[in-house]
């Protein structure tokens, strides 16, 4: 019972880590995109 719960918790932890990584990736992507857009606007 305890081993099964530990395995489930580990699986959830990995899933949470993947979701966290995706969220960070999206935020960084949009921040970079907006920064580059703003930079191009200033350059022209």
- Rounded to two decimals, the pTM is 0.53
What span, in angstroms and rounded, lies between the C-alpha atoms of 36 and 42?
Answer: 10
- Stretch 1-13: mean pLDDT: 58
Per-residue CA distances from 29 to 4, 19, 24, 25 (Å): 37, 15, 8, 6
pLDDT confidence of residue 40: 79
What would the pLDDT profile of 9-44 be if each residue is shown by its tens digit? 556 677 888 888 999 999 999 999 999 988 777 776
What span, in angstroms and rounded, lies between the C-alpha atoms of 35 and 41?
Answer: 10
> CB-side exposure of 35: number of CA atoms within 13 Å?
6
Residue with tokens 């918790």: 9
């Amino acid at each position: 019972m305890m081993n099964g719960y530990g395995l489930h918790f580990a699986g959830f932890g990995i899933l949470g880590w993947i979701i966290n990584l995706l969220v960070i990736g999206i935020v960084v992507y949009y921040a970079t995109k907006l920064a580059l857009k703003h930079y191009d606007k200033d350059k022209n």
